[in-house]
Amino acid sequence: MRTRVAAVLSVLAIASSTACGSEGAAPTDAAGGEREPAPAGLSDAELSGFVQFTQSVTKIGQPVGVHLTFHDPETGAEELRLDLSVAREERGTAPDVSEFAFTSDFRRMAWIADDGLGVAELNDDVRAFTKTGSVPAPENSFDDGELEYALPQFSPDGSQVWFVSRTTSSSDWRRDDATWQVLSVDAADPSATPPQPRGEVPAESQPPKDSHVGIGHSGLRLARGKAGFAVSADNELQIVNRSVRDDERELDYYTDGSRLFPVNFIPYTEETYLRLSDEENGSAQGNGTYLIAFELTPDGTVSNERTVFHSNDRKITSVHLDTTRSRLILRTREGYYGTDIKAEAEPKPLFDSFTYSAEQRLPERELLGLYPPE
């Protein structure tokens, strides 16, 4: 199972009972009649596309609704909705989007709750997540005071949930020697054993941004602190240093000396990156009239800068890499457009805005990113 950052997607099989009996014979029920085959699981394609996290109210006084919606990158139309109400607190509210983590196949999620850490798996039949286990909230410490869990993320293979234990006093995070403890549990059975200590990281460290988030969207977390931490391919803690942003491009990223984890730009190929700016070869910004391609090495050396698109009267507010169709999707005030980085033609209009299968009262939405099928 891949995380928001590699994975193995398993599709639920048709119930084994439908395979019983003589070869080629139709399954039967107890009365001897033909039985309807068990429904197949959700496909890779259904669990892909633009993904939005939404909290909304269906009726005044009712608990908040929490769900994910999956949208067709060609039309913006909602094609699937997954219920996340298992994460709702007893008071009827739900954690903020920053308290959630999903595997990138969206078959498992973790979240920080009032009573600790929760983990759930997707039930294809009911299009909802079912809780599979939890980790009780940390006990308070005499030295550190009141503690909390935060920043859940899945390991690259999806087998573990990683998170931090930290003091609730944000003023203590700013001490030069302040650290947070990193813990992990088994994703399939988080309640089986106590959280395993994996090391310590400087306070205010955060996991690098998922590349599927794109430019122009905050994603699940805003980057803060002078360092970040990631889970390596062999499930070990990896601390990465943040760039000093000491040149006019103001490129913000983490690096371990051999790899880059961009914050305010995105990877396009193994060596090429993209950023937005309001000036030709200007500083990286959340939006801009210029889309700039460039090459960047882990030591901060920039080369081969060139303008991919420029418009005097149309500002690009977000950029996403659509790997399924080998294109970029750009957003402006007028809508979403598709194009190739090497295309000489104008970007092709795709859709004006996302559409939904059901009306929602006072929705609060966060675009998680554009995810390909696995």
Decide the pairing of beta strands 260-262 and 302-310: unpaired
CB atoms within 10 A of CB 267: 15
Which residue in the block uniquely carries the two structure tokens 């939405």? 365
Structural tokens at position 207:
């996991």
What pLDDT is stored for residue 73 in this prediction?
Answer: 98
- C-alpha to C-alpha distance for 344 and 325, rounded to whole angstroms: 17
CB 110 within 8 A of CB 103: no
Sites in the chain below the pLDDT cut of 70: 1-40, 58, 90-91, 142, 144, 217-224
Instruction: For residue 12, give the nearest of 105, 83, 110 by alpha carbon.
Output: 105
- One-letter amino acid of 355: T
From CA 299, how far away is CA 181, in angstroms rounded?
Answer: 28
- Give me the residue label for tokens 């959630």: 100
User: What distances in angstroms separate CA 135 from CA 46, 79, 96, 155, 348, one per listed residue?
Assistant: 31, 33, 19, 17, 48
Residue 108's closest CA among 133, 88, 125, 79?
133
Quote the tokens at residue 276. 């937005």
Report the distance separating Cα 219 and Cα 232, nearest Å. 21
pLDDT of residue 365: 92
pLDDT at 166: 94
258 CB-near residues (< 8 Å, 6+ apart): 298
| Amino acid code (one letter) for 364 | E
- Long-range contacts at 308-311 (CB < 8 A, ≥ 24 apart): 308/274, 308/341, 309/339, 309/347, 310/280
Q: In the prediction, which pLDDT does 253 show? A: 92
User: Which pLDDT score, from 0 to 100, does residue 362 have?
Assistant: 76
The number of angstroms, rounded, from the C-alpha of 350 to the middle of its chain's C-alpha atoms is 23
